[in-house]
Amino acid sequence: MDLDGARTLVAGASGALGSGIASALHARGAKVVVGGRRRAPLDALASRFDTSPVLFDAVDGDSCRRAVGEAVDQLGGLDLIVVAVGVAAFGPAVDADAAVVDELFAVNVLGPMSLVRAAAPALAESDRGRAAVLSAILADLPTNQMAEYSATKAALAAWLDVLRRENRRAFGVLDVRPPHLDTGLETRALAGIPPKLPEPRPAAEVVDAFVAALVDDVKVLGWDPQEKKLVSRGS
Ligand SMILES: NC(=O)c1ccc[n+]([C@@H]2O[C@H](COP(=O)([O-])OP(=O)(O)OC[C@H]3O[C@@H](n4cnc5c(N)ncnc54)[C@H](OP(=O)(O)O)[C@@H]3O)[C@@H](O)[C@H]2O)c1
């Protein structure tokens, strides 16, 4: 897709990947509205982009729909929604706390689904509409001590697959599945202690690959363990 002038909402822009992606898209000429849960980190980005932030909590579907509506009104339409919202949890599957599992699925699956669903009509009206969502390598490689976190990402990836097929004439869908990164996500987990993780990759690599995948209309960006990089799986 052509990013120049693209009317864009980045949901989860207070996070490491979200803020990096928002800045990279702005640098490519996109008009970027940032969205998230906490106003302070969003304000700094929004003032650079000359837009107003929109607020939502991913566990509250109504607030997701409202935030997307506000972004569409502000931008006069929507060409691109980026969803970089997510949280982790660790520990053995049989020990998982029910409230933690509910929140994990709400933030990682139901919230992103609400955001993209709310954006769909505006994306369909655009001549370059696209939804780009961060799942994770865990969608391909469910990992011990991360059963529920893996399950959320597999569920999100499955939903994105169907969304792409059902809407192939209306808008595109990019699913990005990075490996462990240096963003510190694991230190903000809802519960549990992370198992020994592989050496983290730089988040900047993902931001660059993400923007290139958008430009090339890639469908899935997955991790290639041999090449040690994100590779396109269909365009
Ligand atoms: N880092 C990795 O190793 C890695 C690997 C693969 C995939 N990913 C995925 O990439 C995405 C971004 O991760 P990141 O590494 O950039 O982590 P991050 O810096 O912790 O960013 C996470 C984002 O999610 C937001 N968020 C969490 N709970 C929320 C809620 N209830 N409502 C609204 N927003 C909420 C955070 O908002 P606040 O600032 O308000 O907390 C933040 O903007 C996630 O989906 C993650 O699963 C990350």
CA of 47 to the centre of ligand 1 (A): 22
| Residue having the nearest C-alpha atom to atom 21 of ligand 1 | 15
Contacts of 131 (CB under 8 A, 6+ apart): 80, 81, 83, 116, 119, 120, 123, 160, 163, 171, 172, 173, 174
Contact present, 102 and 190 (Cβ < 8 Å): no
3-state helix, strand, coil in the chain (%, to 5): 45, 15, 35
Best residue among 82, 85, 135, 221 to mutate for probing ligand 1, ranked by most atoms within 8 Å of CB: 85
d(CA 129, CA 146): 33
CA of 227 to the centre of ligand 1 (A): 26
171: nearest Cα among 120, 98, 226 = 120
Query: What fold, for 7-232?
Result: Rossmann fold (3.40.50)
Query: With 0-12 CB in 10 A as exposed, 13-18 as middle and 19+ as buried, what is 208?
Result: middle
Contact present, 45 and 87 (Cβ < 8 Å): no
d(CA 130, CA 98): 34
pLDDT on residue 34: 98
Q: Which atom of ligand 1 is nearest to the CA of 188?
A: 20
In the chain, where are the structural domains located?
Answer: 7-232
- Written as one string, the DSSP assignment of 166-222 is HTTTT-EEEEEE--SBTT-GGGG-SSS-----PPPBPHHHHHHHHHHHHHTT-SEEE
For the Cβ of 104 lying below 6 angstroms from any atom of ligand 1, the answer is no
CA of 78 to the centre of ligand 1 (A): 22
What per-residue string of b and e applies to 93-107 under the rule 16 or more CB within 10 Å gives b? Answer: eeebeeebbebbbbb
CA angle 125, 129, 133 (to 5 degrees): 135
CA of 14 to the centre of ligand 1 (A): 8
d(CA 46, CA 170): 29
| Residue having the nearest C-alpha atom to atom 29 of ligand 1 | 58
For the Cβ of 156 lying below 6 angstroms from any atom of ligand 1, the answer is no
Token pair for 189: 């987990």
Best residue among 87, 100, 104, 113 to mutate for probing ligand 1, ranked by most atoms within 8 Å of CB: 87
pLDDT in tens, the chain (235 residues): 999 999 999 999 999 999 999 999 999 999 999 999 999 999 999 999 999 999 999 999 999 999 999 999 999 999 999 999 999 999 999 999 999 999 999 999 999 999 999 999 999 999 999 999 999 999 999 999 999 999 999 999 999 999 999 999 999 999 999 999 999 999 999 999 999 999 999 999 999 999 999 999 999 999 999 999 999 996 6
pTM: 0.98
For the Cβ of 14 lying below 6 angstroms from any atom of ligand 1, the answer is yes
User: How far out from the chain centre does Cα 22 lie?
Assistant: 11
For the Cβ of 132 lying below 6 angstroms from any atom of ligand 1, the answer is no
Which amino acid is present at 234? G
